[in-house]
Amino acid sequence: MPTVYVTRKTHFNAAHRLHNPDKSEAWNEEMYGPCNHPNWHGHNYELEVTVAGEPDPETGYLIDLGVLKSIIHERVVDKVDHKNLNLDVDFMDGVIPSTENFVIAIWNELADALPSGRLHCVRLYETPRNYAEYRGE
């Protein structure tokens, strides 16, 4: 059977502050600029989750997209939407919430939750022009 790639796209809003507590305030300001603002800043994130595998011969589905939507919301969106990534999100605890680190953390939340197929790619848009993508190890 051929491999098919199915993608579900969703969005959420979240605030964060890029800050390394092991570095000085001057280092953080120089490294992160306005993204280090002590009162946080926010993004309108777009998230794409791609699952790979073979369609089920009985249903024609690789994965039911309604099920995938529910998993993404339960494991990620419900935990991060309108939240502060630095303060409110358990799976980001102790992690500098750059887009790169955030996309890896999202992968880790989803990787073992799929009932069929395998997680192929997580793409996270921080802005319409900037995104990070993770495909596992």
**Which residues have C-beta within 8 Å of that of residue 57, sequence separation ≥ 6?**
none
Report how far residue 81's alpha carbon sits from residue 75's, in angstroms, rounded to the nearest whole number: 11
Residue 32 is encoded by which pair of tokens? 């992160």
Beta-strand ranges (E) seen in the chain are 4-16, 41-53, 83-84, 118-127, 130-134
Answer yes or no: are the C-beta atoms of 55 and 61 closer than 8 Å: yes
Active site residues: 35, 82, 126
